[in-house]
Amino acid sequence: MLVNGGGNLGDLYAGQQGTRLEILRSLRDNRIIQLPQSIHFANPENAQAMAQLISEHGGFELMVRERKSLRLAKDLLGLDATLSPDHALALGSLDGSHAPTRSVLWLARRPGDPEYVPYDEPSDARVTRMEWLEGVSDSERDWDRRGRLALRFNGAAKNRRLRGPESRLWKTRAAYRALSMTYPVLARRWVARGVGILTDAEVVITDKLHGHIMCVLLGKEHIVLDNSYGKVSGTLDAWTGTLPGVHRATDGRDAMEQAVAILESR
């Protein structure tokens, strides 16, 4: 079994971690490969509980994205993990030829996000503030017919398999196969949506790991701020920090000064 990668191995995201623990409990005869993750435990007892499940399972293999997570895997979970870049980098070069209509995009986490850092966003008319799922229209009107159908079927399937008289039908293998066919369609369109957001700005400031990675793939100059526990800076340290167009900042003022310098140099 392959478990999708991300930044949720630990105790910041109860839903994703709960699913991972349930897999360890219930699929004892399966080899489980956790695709590249970042590790963060605020409570050592939660790390101990996961380490116990991993030990009892005996077939759990872990890939991590930064050297800090590599150390935590050994120290907290008793695992010799594999260091691997985030698999979004496997998308390869993306088309960044769209003519921007904005000067600076501030793509960052909002208060309430467990990885939020208060970076004192600059009050500058040239800055457009956005989060991946906020400040952007989620209208289906810009999607093609196939994408709209996949989105609607995906939502309907997930709702029906959780409740209602038809829920048993949606727990069959055939239903799950049909549901799984929607994900590649949706994934391609979500990537296209992200590309559209990033290419619409001349310069991007972000504390989002995949905001940074997509800017790298687009060849777009951008300024990177860290998240609350260092997974973004860890990725730069291990893989991407020396690539062209990647700039680091320590706070909002520093980031904006660098963005203005880039704009004025053009």
Which residue is listed with tokens 């009892």? Answer: 56
Amino acid at 96: G
C-alpha neighbours within 13 Å on the C-beta side of residue 79: 29
- Give residue 102's pLDDT band: very low, low, confident or very high (50, 70, 90): very high
pLDDT of residue 81: 99
9-36 in b/e form (b: 16+ CB < 10 A) is: bbbbbeebbeebeebbeeeeeeebebbb
Q: Are 215 and 222 in contact (CB under 8 A)?
A: yes
One DSSP character per residue, 40-86 reads E-SSHHHHHHHHHHHHHH--EEEEESSHHHHHHHHHHH----EE---
How many residues would you count in the chain? 266
Quick check: helix, strand or coil at residue 6?
strand
Percent of the chain with pLDDT over 90: 75
Q: Are 103 and 195 in contact (CB under 8 A)?
A: no
Residue range 93-112: mean pLDDT, rounded: 95
What's the mean pLDDT when you consider all of the chain?
A: 91
Domain chopping of the chain, boundaries: 2-84, 90-137+189-264
Q: Are 238 and 66 in contact (CB under 8 A)?
A: yes
pTM: 0.90
199-222 pLDDT, tens digit per residue, is 999 999 999 999 999 999 999 999
